[in-house]
Structure 1
């Protein structure tokens, strides 16, 4: 496995960011899908995809490079000598992608340096209607291989980690489920091993950003067992979806709440069967989640004009909640009623029954000068709250603005500026105050952590994107003590990096 790059390589990361931005801004590109790390199986090619001219050209022939980057080639390997077309004719689709990153912190953290990390994602889909006449059925199985190092763990110690694909190294089965639709697609049920970040608490505009919390947000990441059933983990469960009105969708599901098993304070993603994704734990508790989605000004089926679908600019608004029946540790008190910081405490954390959260999400396009052109501005916000007595975080917000087609001739590029805030719970702050009192005031009191992210995603080809990224984190961990210098907090972090994604 790759070893972490330290101080000698941080200049390379900064230099790469500075060099990439102007270069990619003026590169030529055609339409391309966006790959969201750890979150999308929609990169599977359409069954029946026909081979393009580029796919029929050998590397030694003139024009190969031009055709390789042509807009008609949605995958690097194209139709794979007709294999994709043949499989598509019998309802089978294949997906393979590689996401690679190099990120480093120029300031702050417990160390300065850079790490490489990567994710190889594989998926197989089966349309049961095409395969053997069972209409409305879809079977999906996916797996991935995580490699490299984890900058957040090595250097940053932040709550809102810098990358959504960073995780403990493993080769793992991810999702494996069957979905059946009814009533002409108005209702469907999915059963099997699922990752909630694929359908719940999502924001289309926030998907551009690299920071983990722009995908699966902070509250479930730190308040559920091992971060809940979301990348890189998944859980057994059943999900119900209905669309009673054309602009109204209802989602609800029940899942195992502890994907890797084990106690709350041990969030290892590679314990036992969790290493391979075949550990199906059902003994901790059940996680129930429900979400209502309301869409406005959406285009008709097959209509590409998102600017005039309902006489205005499109948007999606979501309201949801989750409830976990498991037991969660009190953030301040032990079973004897004393503060865990009290030397007289028995040191045994009080466990509280159940946990819950409510949230709201909105995505709204706010500007589009020409409904026939790609250029547009969209904004998003996601707010979540949870009880403070049993959670390390009680409130979080992610928000930002995304400009599509920021430069002439760059219709498939996106420029984004985002912000995230995590508020440490009042009960956890109380424990810090207790610790400071018992240590003569020599202990930091946590409060909140916030970050900004500036990112530019350039589609250099339909199958290739390059994304330089900058993040700045204030009071990492909410203001935690630096383990290398207990007299100081972990310093504010300036993080530079670049991500590439290849769809094979």
Structure 2
């Protein structure tokens, strides 16, 4: 954590009790510090422990109370990430830790205003995390492997990735409830180049790479819930594999479809067991992936006397596409798919302290057939304020 992040964290921690004093508070502040220790227990790489940190600072403002702007709220989210990059050594296609970033730094991750439109509908505009609403489900949130956040077949797209952790982009999102049973429709237009304050160049206002269009229909708030979504870039990106006769990259469409299904298998006063399945497909030109799926289950609580105890088991699998396999074959590598099984447990040991051990078994790391399977252990410690 650098000095600026420490100052911000201290300011939020100091103000937070005052913000929580009133029942109907116009400003809500929160801070969370996550520290991960990552080590490989089996596989081809070394056994060194590598540390990563993630600091989340959020503020939610009621603009009606603060400025007389009826039906409007504002959300600001500052993010700081430091530490090692364990996947540089482990070498998976999809990563092992969802707080690992390519470039350490302090960023303004989200800053949007939401306007209520009546009937539960709303419009958001500003710097926006697509994965906060699209291609997301609650039962997968506890799992640490990145594909449980958003499918790799879309996470690997865009000039700098789509507008997801750790870099966001300017966007506009509309959400419209349908009926009274939790059905909804949402759509978003997002700058194709994810770049925010803290990234090189800051926020991109040029939109020179076009936009990412996303749409999702689904149902929430029921025992069985889920969504189906589609996405496409307005401007065809450069093909990662195919070129023109003079060696210039071809431009091919980048688009895909996904589905999310989640349901409560057991729902009682003593605990809930929730299962989920997610899958996505994309074109074969802009990423190494043709698609993938994630499945898993969450039990909460594990022990009735410990209401914050949870255990989650997950499986994620990525299909590499033909172009990626051909490219790897030219390099003398037999490429295949990558499969990961993850088991994690967590519990709150003190009012502000959560401990979460995690283990992942990785088959064909890097999508390389015959590569030694890897076993990665993570100890996550979370301080919340």
TM-score by length of 1: 0.70
Runs of 4+ in structure 1 off by over 3 angstroms are 75-79, 109-112, 278-281
> Considering only CA atoms, is the larger Rg found in Structure 1 or Structure 2?
1
Give the alignment of 1:437-476 within 5 angstroms: 443-476=332-365
User: Is residue 409 from structure 1 mapped to residue 314 from structure 2 by the alignment?
Assistant: no
1:395 Cα deviation (Å)? 1.0
Structure 2, unaligned runs of 5 or more: 3-11
1:363 to 237, 259, 262: 262
Q: 1:182 to 1:400 in 2, by over 3 A?
A: same
Please, which of 119, 128, 141 is the counterpart of residue 54 of structure 2? 119
**8 Å contact from structure 1 (residues 272, 279) kept in 2:** no
Structure number with the bigger relative contact order (C-alpha 8 A, sep ≥ 6) is 1
Does the 8 Å contact 2:79/2:109 carry over to 1? yes
Q: 2-side partners of 1:139 and 1:331: how far apart?
A: 38
Contact 2:167 2:199 in 1 (8 A): no
Count matched residues.
374
What SS does structure 1 have at the residue aligned with 2:66?
Answer: helix
* Displacement after TM superposition at 1:122 (Å): 0.9
Give secondary structure in 2 for the equivalent of 1:227.
coil
Give the distance between the partners of 1:83 and 1:330, measured in 2 at CA: 50
Map of 2:122 onto structure 1: 188
2: CA distance between counterparts of 1:83 and 1:90? 7
Matched, 1:498 2:379: yes
Tell me how far 1:83 sits from its aligned partner.
4.7
Could you tell me how far apart the structure 2 residues matched to 1:190 and 1:477 are? 37
Q: Among 207, 229, 232, which residue is 2:166 paired with?
A: 232
Larger strand fraction of residues = 2
Give how far 1:323 is off: 0.7
Cα deviation, residue 424, structure 1? 0.5
Q: Following TM superposition, by how much is the alpha carbon of 1:450 offset from its aligned partner in structure 2, in angstroms?
A: 0.6
Contact 2:127 2:168 in 1 (8 A): yes
Alignment match, 2:131: 197
Relative to structure 1, the CA distance from residue 451 to residue 503 in structure 2 (aligned partners, 3 Å threshold; closer, same or farther) is same
Q: What value does the CA root-mean-square deviation take over the aligned residues?
A: 2.4
Q: Residue 273 of structure 1: SS of its match in structure 2? A: coil
Aligned equivalent of 1:421:
317
User: Which whole-Å CA distance do the structure 1 matches of 2:238 and 2:44 have between them?
Assistant: 27
- Quote the residue 1:383 is aligned against: 279
Structure 1: gaps spanning 5 or more residues: 3-74, 262-268, 299-313, 337-345, 437-442, 481-488
Q: Distance in 2 between matches of 1:215 and 1:379?
A: 15
**Would you say the 8 A contact 2:357–2:380 is kept in 1?**
yes
Which whole-Å deviations, capped at 9, do the CAs of 1:28-77 have from their partners, x for residues lacking one?
A: xxxxxxxxxxxxxxxxxxxxxxxxxxxxxxxxxxxxxxxxxxxxxxx998
With the length of structure 2 as denominator, give the TM-score of the two structures: 0.90
Q: Secondary structure at the match of 1:219?
A: helix
Measured in 2, the distance between the counterparts of 1:124 and 1:397 equals 34
State the alpha-carbon separation in 2 of the partners of residues 374 and 324 from structure 1.
46
Q: Give CA deviations for 1:165-205 in whole Å, capped at 9, x if unaligned.
A: 11121011111111000224x21000111110111100110
